[in-house]
Structures are given as C-alpha cells and as structure tokens.
C-alpha cells in the first residue's frame, strides 16, 4: 500500500491522466447515449444541448497544453535570467539561497518540486491530474482547464436536471399517489419521486449525482484559484503565508529569540496587472532585456 501511494502521489506517472479521461468519457458517453437523445425528442434547443461538447473541446485543448507545457523549469542556462524577474522579499524568499537538490540559486517565488525533481519558476503546486507542475508558463492553461471543466460539469448537470424535471411535469408524476407496505395511500413526495426516477433512469440519475458533487467541488476550488490569481499569489505562497500567520498567533508560545518576520505580498499590483502577469507571463528573454 505504501509503495502504491508513493507511486501515485510522489512520482511522475500517467495514472490520474488516464483516470481523468476515463471519467470524462463515461460522463459524456452517458450524456450522448441517453440525455441528448431524450432531450431531442422533447425538442430542447440544439444550441443548449451542444454547449457541453463545445466546453469539452476547449477543456481537452487546455488540458493538453497544461500537461505538455514547460511550467518554467529553472536550469543553469536560465538561472541568472529568472533571478531578475521577481523581487526578493527577504522573508519568504531571501536572496542568495541555493536549492539543496539542484544546487542552483533560487529565484524569488520558485520552489523545488520533489515529484518532478526540478525547481520551477513561480511554482504554484504539482497537479497529479495533469502529471505536471503548475508554474509561471502553464498557470494560464490550468485556469482555463479548471474553468471549462467546472462549466462542463455544471452544464451537464443542468441539462440532465432540466430533462428529469420536464419529464416529471409532462407526465404529472408529482400528482400521482402510491401505497406503502402497510397499505396506506400517500401523495407522491420528493424522496419517492427520486427513487422512481432512479429505477426508471438509473444511469442518468447516477451521472447527475456525480456531476453535481463534482460541480460543487470544482467550483469551490475554482473560486480559490481565481482569488489567488486576482491577488497575485501562488498556492505555495498562500500556504506558507498562512503558516507565517500561525507563527504570530498569540495562542502559540514561541521562544523569545525566534521572533517571526511578517510576510507581506509585494507582488500584487492591482487586478489588471495581476491577471496580465498570469496570461502574459515573463519569459527569460524578457529578463535579458531588463538586465541589459
């Protein structure tokens, strides 16, 4: 078990990429096989039904770019150029620090990824779903991937829910009655209605439950990722800054000699410039011009 977990989460492998594509394929197969056909029979708008496929195309394109794009790997060739991209804050990112593994000077906002075994410029996190680090050069693709994945899950959920509600209304199921095990007559309630729909359309209801849960999970993470982008923070910086706040917590007793330094986000320059930095990242050639 330990070896399996280490292989899945601490080594570069394609397991989660395959799992991602399988789950996405299963959802869209069920959507195409049943929901799309039923909705066409009920004369739903074709543009409405084709929207999940449009989102799928954009999602797979951005997913591929996130997987294959260099996140900003720091090497001896570009080490000096990266050192001039961001300012050192001397708290979270002090000057003249070398990576103990790569033996390279660490530019501000960089971090060594233990999974990929390289240092990444503006390191955000390592994502097992794309088998790659998320850094300065592929964070834009990752945000588009996350946005379209959330939107596609939500769209499939909305179309499927609309179909089931339309079906219930057309057949007047909510006005029906049923007899329980004790022989008592009851008006159709929500629980019984869901049970009836599950027995009638088990795959659609199961898929709907999956994409609804997925939509909420992805939506929450998307909001967090957009917050980081708007404030020009990385996940690594947010986590380390939160830990620095814990060090200043009065409920924690720290030695007098170990006075924690206050971390301040010096890289946020307004919403427009922060988003511009995400979607128009600085490349080494920019750094060379700045150095000259």
Three-class DSSP labels, 160-213 = HHHHHHHHHHHHCHHHCEEECCCCCEEECCHHHHHHHHHHHCHHHHHHHHHHHH
Give domain status of residue 147, yes or no: yes
- Who's near 134: CB < 8 A, 6+ residues apart? 66, 71, 123, 124, 125, 126, 127, 142, 235
pLDDT at 248 over 50: no
Give bridge partners of residue 113 from the DSSP assignment: 118
Give domain status of residue 228, yes or no: yes
pLDDT at 231 over 90: yes
Give domain status of residue 257, yes or no: no
The C-alpha atoms of residue 162 and residue 49 are separated, in whole angstroms, by 11
- Total domain count for the chain? 1
Greater pLDDT, 177 or 41: 41
For 15-26, give one letter per residue: b (16+ CB within 10 A) or e. eebeebeeebee
Pairing mode, strands 125-127 and 118-120 = unpaired
Range of the domain at 42: 7-244+265-279
Residues serving a catalytic function are 127
pLDDT of the residue at 176: 65
pLDDT of the residue at 196: 82
What pLDDT digit, counting tens, does each position of 171-226 carry? 776 666 666 666 666 666 777 788 888 989 999 999 999 999 999 999 999 999 99
pLDDT of the residue at 6: 84
Which helix (H) or strand (E) segment is 118 a member of?
strand 118-120
Burial of residue 257 (number of CB atoms within 10 Å: 0-12, 13-18, 19+): exposed
Give domain status of residue 144, yes or no: yes
What pLDDT digit, counting tens, does each position of 143-157 carry? 999 999 999 999 999
pLDDT at 283 over 60: yes
Q: How confident is the model at residue 100 (pLDDT cuts 50, 70, 90)?
A: very high
Give domain status of residue 119, yes or no: yes
Give domain status of residue 194, yes or no: yes
DSSP, collapsed to helix, strand or coil, labels residue 229 as helix
Give domain status of residue 259, yes or no: no
Q: How confident is the model at residue 253 (pLDDT cuts 50, 70, 90)?
A: very low
pLDDT of the residue at 280: 87
Give domain status of residue 289, yes or no: no
Is the pTM higher than 0.95? The answer reads: no
Supply the mean pLDDT for the chain.
87
């Amino acid at each position: 078990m330990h070896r399996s977990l280490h292989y899945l989460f601490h080594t570069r492998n394609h397991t989660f990429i395959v799992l991602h594509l399988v789950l996405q394929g299963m959802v869209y197969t069920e959507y195409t096989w049943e929901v799309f056909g039923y909705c066409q029979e009920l004369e739903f708008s074709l543009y409405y039904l084709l929207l999940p496929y449009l989102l799928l195309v954009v999602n797979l394109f951005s997913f591929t770019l996130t997987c294959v794009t260099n996140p900003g790997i720091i090497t001896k060739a570009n080490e000096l150029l990266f050192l001039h991209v961001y300012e050192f804050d001397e708290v979270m990112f002090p000057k003249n620090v070398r990576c103990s593994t790569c033996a390279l000077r660490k530019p501000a906002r960089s971090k060594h990824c233990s999974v990929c075994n390289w240092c990444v410029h503006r390191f955000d996190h390592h994502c097992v779903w794309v088998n790659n680090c998320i850094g300065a050069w592929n964070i834009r693709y990752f945000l588009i991937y996350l946005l379209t994945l959330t939107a596609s899950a939500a769209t499939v959920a909305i179309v499927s829910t609309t179909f089931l509600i339309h079906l219930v209304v057309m057949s007047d199921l909510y006005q029906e009655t049923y007899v329980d095990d004790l022989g008592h007559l009851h008006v159709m309630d929500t629980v019984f209605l869901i049970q009836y729909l599950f027995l009638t359309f088990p795959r659609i209801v199961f898929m709907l439950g999956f994409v609804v849960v997925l939509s909420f999970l992805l939506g929450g993470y998307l909001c967090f990722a957009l917050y980081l982008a708007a404030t020009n923070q990385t996940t690594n910086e947010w986590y380390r800054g939160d830990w620095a706040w814990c060090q200043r917590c009065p409920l924690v007793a720290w030695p007098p000699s170990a006075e924690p330094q206050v971390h301040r986000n010096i890289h946020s320059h307004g919403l427009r410039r922060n988003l511009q930095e995400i979607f128009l990242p600085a490349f080494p050639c920019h750094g060379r011009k700045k150095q000259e």
